[in-house]
Amino acid sequence: MVPKQKARRQKAPAPRADGELRAGILPTLIGYRLRLAQQAIFRDFAEHVPWLSPGRAGMLILVEANPGVTQSRLARAMSLDRSTMVGLVDVLEERGLLERRRGEDRRTNSLWLTRGGRQLLARVKRRIAEHEARVGSRLAAPERAQLMSLLDKLR
């Protein structure tokens, strides 16, 4: 029989001098570090690209690169459910950024940027370029390339 561990009341350890919490195993985990890095980048994005969330900006970029794409194809490309895409398209259509047109296969909607959508997206892309330069400036150029390749391996 394995010796039973003595039951002991939990006790608070001496608090750390700097007032920070002990982080346990969290900093050893790739997913945790990834999340912190991403939060920092999303914070910068939200601050400097105030018109759209990263996801919605990404969606406009995909529609621009694939004019006339159907909702379902776009949903698949973004790993979203078809029903989730409906609300996303609703919002961007109400804001006058894109429009649905009846597809040749009449079950489908094809998606097209409006003039306003193209104009906003041009501005957004300039801001994103600045955002990317600012974020990327924390790394040397070869480091940036290295990071991209390492991130790819995690997929």
Partner DNA sequence: TATTGTTATACTCTATAACTATA
Partner DNA sequence: TATAGTTATAGAGTATAACAATA
Applying CB under 7 A, the residues found at the interface with DNA are 53, 55-56, 70-73, 75, 79-89, 100, 103, 105-110
Q: In the numeric block, which tokens belong to residue 41?
A: 């980048």
Give the β-pairing of 109-113 and 98-102.
antiparallel
CB of 17 to a second copy, least distance (A): 14
Residue 125: other Cβ atoms inside 10 A: 15
Residue 114 near residue 72, CB atoms below 8 Å: no
Which positions touch a second copy (CB under 8 A)? 10-13, 20-26, 28-42, 45, 54, 58, 61-62, 64-69, 73-74, 77, 79, 110, 112-113, 125, 128, 132, 135-136, 138-139, 143-144, 146-148, 150-155
- Tell me the C-alpha distance between 68 and 129, whole Å: 25
Q: Which does 136 bind (CB under 5 to 8 A by kind): a second copy, DNA, none?
A: a second copy
